[in-house]
Amino acid sequence: MGSMTKAQQQEAYLAQLRWRCRRGLRELDVLLMNYFDHHFAKSEPSRQQAFVALLELQDPVILSYLTGTSQPQDRAIADIIQQLASCRL
């Protein structure tokens, strides 16, 4: 079998990220998937990296950021949280 093309690798990476947007809480699912589907691809690379870093966090941490009970130390993640909060459905 041949190796994957760069386009196939990118497509697989994006599918993996989209899957990681699925969380244990429906509210987070909606917010993260909405951001991923509508903003991720057209975001600059630094913002994409911040979103990927956000996906590494546990759900309670993300929720505490979204509800304002705690603030992220990382400014890039704080920017993503602000954008997620403004995108609520």
> In this predicted model, what pLDDT tens digit does every residue of 42-76 receive, in sequence order?
999 999 999 999 999 999 999 999 999 999 999 99
* Nearest-angstrom CA–CA distance, 38 and 71: 24
CA dihedral 46, 82, 74, 16 (to 10 degrees): -50
Overall domain count for the chain: 1
Does residue 17 lie in a domain region? no
pLDDT recorded at residue 3 = 82
Task: Name 63's Cβ contacts closer than 8 Å, sequence gap at least 6.
Answer: 25, 28
The DSSP letter of residue 73 is S
- Please name the residue that has the structure tokens 């994957």: 4
Structural domain boundaries, residue 35: 26-86
Instruction: Kindly report the pTM of this predicted structure.
Output: 0.86
Residue 19 maps to a domain: no
CATH assignment at residue 62:
1.10.150.250
